[in-house]
Amino acid sequence: MLDHVFTDAIGALRDALEAALLERQAFEERFQVDILLGDVTWETSYGLPGEGSPPRILADISL
């Protein structure tokens, strides 16, 4: 049940960052679940549009 709330929060955060005209760095996105501890982690990176790889300015976000 809580995983659906978590994925909805991820979707809302992703929509907000894309509405701010930031580019998602696809190679940096991770979704991890620790079954023993019950931890769920989502990490992603966004950069300014038009910058090369790797971008000079990068926003790393963990939820």
φ, ψ at 48 (rounded to 5°): -70, 145
The model carries a pTM of 0.67
pLDDT, tens digit (0-9, with 9 covering 90-100), for 14-58: 899 889 888 888 777 888 888 888 888 888 888 888 887 777 777
35: left (phi over 0), alpha (psi -120 to 50) or beta: alpha
pLDDT for the residue numbered 37: 86
